[in-house]
Amino acid sequence: MLHALFLGFRQLADRSARRVLLRCLLIASLTFVLLVAAVAVLLASLDPTGLAWLDTGIAIAGSAAALVLAWLLFPVVIAATLGLFAEDVAEAVERRYYPDLPPAQSMGVGESVWATLRFTAVALLLNLLVLPLYLIPGANLLIYLALNGYLLGREYFELVAARRLPGPTVSALRRRLRARLWLAGVVIAALLAVPGFNLVAPVVAIAFMVHLFEGLRRARGLVPDPAVPSPSARVAAARRAGSNGSV
């Protein structure tokens, strides 16, 4: 796992990975700016006490709370955002380190959007439910890492594995490797929690998961090789088989 993480860091030198990261950061940053602005405007429009100085203090505290909430939800937002561009990062990793792999199965736009929305809804709901626990000193970090480690490990693994395996196989493999994937998710959640570094951590996380998946597939034989071809490749193969049969 440490070697896969090291290779994930090296992926930051790849130009195509940096382009994806820039797009994700722009979207995530816009989301957080809108969140903070919306809360600030809402609180400023309220007059809860009728005392100007106290209402101003409440508005400032609310804006600060929005900033803290945005930081806590950053892993969820950036993971959901990166899900729309994960294909580019995974392809860059495979092109550099695994050139022997056949073309992967690309996820359709509708399927990708649906998976992103589903993950975002579940992750936001769970994080909001445990939000009061984040106020407990000492325990908050453990709760944050445990919950988001599960969510991110599952999400990033499925993003990567679904390119090479059919859905039922991905689910079975995820259940079999749940402990290892949770630990990988904890590593990803920790990287995303570091201010400043969390701006580049999403690309590292995808590259890290690709290396982890390929290492498991090759070293343990958990996944058949070669990988699942793309739909277009399967159609082309079927046409070639039909042509040969007719001859």
Q: If we measure between CA atoms, which residue out of 46, 47, 43 comes closest to residue 64?
A: 43
Whether 33 contacts 67, CB under 8 Å: no
Structure tokens that stand for 82 in this block: 């990166």
pLDDT digits (tens, 9 = 90+) for 119-138: 778 888 888 888 888 878 88
pLDDT, position 226: 46
pLDDT digits (tens, 9 = 90+) for 93-114: 888 888 888 888 766 667 767 7
Helix axes 139-161, 86-97, angle to 10 degrees: 70
Whether 71 contacts 143, CB under 8 Å: no
pTM: 0.73
Q: Which residue pairs from 140-147 have beta carbons closer than 8 angstroms and sit at least 24 positions apart in sequence?
A: 144/72, 144/189, 144/193, 145/186, 145/189, 145/190, 145/193, 146/186
Query: 52: part of which helix (H) or strand (E)?
Result: helix 52-82
Q: If we measure between CA atoms, which residue out of 86, 82, 168, 87 comes closest to residue 123?
A: 82
Whether 140 contacts 133, CB under 8 Å: yes
